Amino acid sequence: MILKEHWNNKVVLDTSVVLYDALSLNAFKETDIHIPLPVIEEIDRFKRDMGENGRNARHFSRFMDTLRSQGSLTNGVPLKSGSYVYVNMSTISEDFTDLDNSKTDNRILGTALLLQRQFPSSKVELISKDINLRVKSDVFGIASKDYDPDRVASVEDMYTGIRHIDIEIDRINKFFQEGSLDIGTEKFYANQYVVMKCQDKTALGRYDKKQNKVVALVQSDIPVWRVHPRNSEQSFAFDALFNDDILFVSLVGKAGTGKTLLALAAGLFKTMDEGRYKRLLVSRPIFPMGRDIGYLPGDLEQKLNPWMQPVFDSLEFIMGMGKKASHLTQDLIDQGLLNIEPLAYIRGRSIPRQYLIVDEAQNLTPHEIKTIITRAGTGTKVVLTGDCYQIDNPYVDASNSGLTYSVEKFKGEEIVAHVTLQKGERSELAELAANLL
């Protein structure tokens, strides 16, 4: 069948791209976008899934049905971006005997091969998040690349939220005396944390954009729920967590740096002691580490306990009452002051006046992060914690994680603060393992 050509640039989309971003078609401008028929068939199998893949599959199917009503997908239907969308019958040329036509990936690759043969002067690319398919594509001379519209250059280049500067000793003394310091022409992001040094003297502060000054941190000599900062990074995290003007906080760091512990201690204090929030809501995505053990017995609470146990462990440490700690945690849950639940139930909700902590946020996609943050109602504070090097979601990596994405997108906003924690405080062994393994 001879296809009508609209643009010289042509891309073939794999199923993995659609499952990652249901509206990925809109990411291409002035391009002929080809959807192989096997992709439509695979999407049909995923649409009954209750997770993010299922939602994206259903959304994509509805979008394609809308396009179908606007014209012929065989000849190409135009998008607002200027691109055209096609659905192709996928067959493999007899010249490529090494490819098994019964395998879906090979039929998708076959679409790209036939396009390249039909339009030799055009640029044909296969877009896929499947590494093996990209490797096979290169073997057969088809250009291929990953789909990552939200990719950060690298985790190492990610905004840390902290800046080190050298200043004169008299300016440090003035900062300690007045609790703030005029920065002059220095440029900072809103709520960026500053380590000011002069020889052996160090001062810690936060840049306040409204005042255009570095101001002193929120300090407390009395531990908050038995937790107090052990290093400068944790002091910065505490300042962000306790500052009522900061409504979104992201804490990124390796295992043992205290991300979850600090967030829970601050949340308990703000909810139980100050009463600023009516509830502490703690949530985390459900992704197993390693091989999944399958379905768990019992009611909903019993099924969720293994997934939420890390949160309970931190709460018991904070409360420091041994066996009594678990009873106190349960009492807070029974009183409605503490709620611990999986992220699967957060869609569609409105969450006002709550201290919302999302643990293990590195496993979330940018779309899921947006879904969570847009649930925040009036007076709600959202805290994301995670380690970008411990990702269990097969569709996410360190550079396109929703956590990494949100850090870069939100930096510089006046109601947002971010801290990257480097120093482990869990134990000497945990710190050694995090650095060496």
pLDDT in tens, 349-396: 789 999 999 999 998 888 889 889 998 999 999 999 999 888 887 777
Pairing of strands 381-386, 416-421: unpaired
Residue 162 sits at φ, ψ, to 5 deg, of -130, 140
CB proximity list for 185: less than 8 A, separation 6 or greater: none
227 DSSP assignment: B
Burial class (CB in 10 A: 0-12, 13-18, 19+), 271: buried
**Does the pLDDT of residue 288 top 60, yes or no?**
no
Nearest Cα to 36, choosing from 96, 101, 80, 94?
101
Q: For the ranges 217-231, 298-312, 397-411, 418-432, which has the lowest average pLDDT?
A: 298-312
pLDDT tens digit sequence for 214-244: 999 987 667 888 888 999 999 999 999 999 9
* 3-state helix vs strand vs coil in the chain, percent to 5: 40, 20, 40
Q: Taking residues 300-307, what's their average pLDDT?
A: 58
pLDDT of residue 323: 60
What's the pLDDT score for residue 91? 66
> 3-state DSSP call for residue 225?
coil
What is the pLDDT, as a whole number, of residue 90? 65
For residues 181 and 435, the model is more confident at: 181
Structure confidence at residue 94 as a pLDDT band (50, 70, 90): low
Q: pLDDT confidence of 23, banded at 50, 70, 90?
A: confident
pLDDT at 181: 93
The predicted structure's pLDDT at residue 10: 94
Phi, psi torsion values for 346, nearest 5 degrees: -90, -20
Query: What integer pLDDT is reported at residue 435 of this predicted model?
Result: 75
Statement: residue 406 has pLDDT above 50: yes
How many Cβ atoms are within 10 Å of 221's Cβ, its own excluded?
5
pLDDT tier, 262 (very low <50, low <70, confident <90, very high otherwise)? very high
Question: What is the arithmetic mean of pLDDT over 300-324?
Answer: 69
Of residues 9 and 425, the one with the higher pLDDT is 9
Q: State the pLDDT at residue 304.
A: 60
Contacts of 100 (CB under 8 A, 6+ apart): 106
- The whole-number average pLDDT for the span 263-271 is 94
pLDDT grade for 292, boundaries at 50, 70 and 90:
very low
Identify the pLDDT of residue 289: 41
Phi, psi at 212, each rounded to 5° = 55, 45
Q: With 60 as the cut, is the pLDDT of residue 171 above it? A: yes
How many CA atoms lie less than 13 Å away from 45 in the CB half-sphere? 5
Region 387-412: mean pLDDT is 85
CA separation for the pair 273, 267 (Å, rounded): 10
Q: Which residue has the higher pLDDT, 183 or 386?
A: 386
Whether residue 400 contacts residue 406, with contact meaning beta carbons closer than 8 Å, is answered with: no
Query: Does residue 328 contact residue 319 with C-beta atoms inside 8 Å?
Result: yes
Write out pLDDT tens, residues 184-212: 888 999 999 999 999 889 999 999 999 99
Name the percent of the chain lying above pLDDT 70: 88
How much is the pLDDT for 51?
73
The full DSSP string for 95-151 is T-TTS-TTSHHHHHHHHHHHHHHH-TTSEEEEE-S-HHHHHHHHHTT-EEE---TT-
111-169 tens-digit pLDDT: 898 898 889 899 999 999 888 999 999 998 899 998 877 666 567 778 999 999 999 99
The pLDDT, as a whole number, for residue 192 is 97
Residue 418, φ and ψ in degrees, nearest 5:
-135, 145
Which of 174-183, 290-299, 420-429 shows the lowest mean pLDDT across its residues? 290-299
Amino acid letter, residue 380: T
Average pLDDT, the chain: 85
pLDDT at 334 over 50: yes
Residue 224: CA atoms inside 13 Å, Cβ hemisphere, count? Answer: 26
Q: What percent of the chain has pLDDT over 90?
A: 50
Q: Both tokens of residue 293? A: 């053990």
Q: Which residue has the higher pLDDT, 338 or 291?
A: 338
**Confidence tier at 324 by pLDDT (50, 70, 90):** low
